[in-house]
Structure 1
């Protein structure tokens, strides 16, 4: 991914991390075309995600829904999260390619960057096929968010890029760790989640290391700006995970569903508890400023 500037971190340390990640990738990587059961028809007796992660779980509307409606909603929500994941993975890939343009291909970090891009390409195809099998349309963030993402991928660099990547990956990671162990979730979805969790753990490690390395020696103003940029990017990523159209596609009253989801304290609590470790890391890196916290609170991450 993004190369560390001269003097920011010892080159040998960077090379060691990259080599370990490359070794891990050789030892434990998956081919979704072979690992995931794409051929068995969708069994609608399963959820698409753990019910407790549904945006309506814990609301009066959830209690009124039939088990079939609840399962359909979680399938649509899981597909929306997957689609948002594809959108962000495409942003990530473009930032990586831009940052490594014309750099030394013999550098282990360069080779790891290409490995990560290959992982993300497979993940995006896997998510796309999974969403289609769940019977969902192509969910996308709204136009404003799409254009903000276009701007972010073009200008973000260094710690700002890495920390934003880390937030998106860690939030999704916590959800998927629950889903992949939940026998109520469709088996093929659990396999998808397991693949993503295993392979993304390497990406998150590199993002954390790069964030810390890039911040070494940075001044107060730079950290304030970084913190705000990361928080704003994180807000739009997280709030775009579940598209409002999932409710109508699950046969629900969209207006009521959106209203109850917005006020759902259970879901807010799930999001906050899942991000405790992430917020601790951002705080230790000096990226949890007062202005940044406003956006994280709005996104129910803190």
Structure 2
């Protein structure tokens, strides 16, 4: 009977490990197969991601003023060839049509893809400039190619940023090849834990969701949206950290760390810096694909 119990316990542990690998792996595969478009108004460049990789970049034209081209994450809800320019009653496909002959409509507010779009042009010299009424213009050859590649329902992120396209993609929850959800197991003081917001592998580093991670360690977390600052208490330490900063205050003393980053709207910190901030011992067992966090001794 004792041997049977030992065997059943071992089988349960194996099932837990296999389950954590297979389900997280499936989620990563699904995420890496998605497409994403990013338009950076700061550089007037458009990036197209496919299957977890940056596929192509193109010059674009955006709004005459900063507010004309809206910023945010918008779904492509229609794809239209030869859309008429209704304002001046110019037929679709007409060389005078400022929309060109390809239109990928964005769901901005309740516009249903009829107001803002990624489209062609009737003036190739305008590309790269701030000249539009709000839409994103592309060279005709570029929009023809992109139109055929992009699936309806793909999201377009419009921003004005100094970050790389890869960083912007990761910050919006896009799983790049080599990045994605951690496919192993997490133990805290020897107990297996599950997380709603998984640990992520980004740029060959493991990142932990700050709020859920610290709360999992028995801590409390407060977020000041106005100052973009986290105040936390965990492991007998008080922590103050400004989002994306490379330092934190631990019990009033400055501690260097790798900058935190947003994945979607959640703030993540490098797992290896959890030890510096909280006092917990962080161990990584590569062969078993296991992360272990041990509370500091009192």
User: TM-score range, shorter-chain basis?
Assistant: under 0.3
Please say which structure displays the higher CA radius of gyration.
Answer: 2
Relative contact order higher in (CA < 8 Å, ≥ 6 apart):
1
TM-score (norm 2): 0.25
Q: Which has the higher helix share?
A: 1
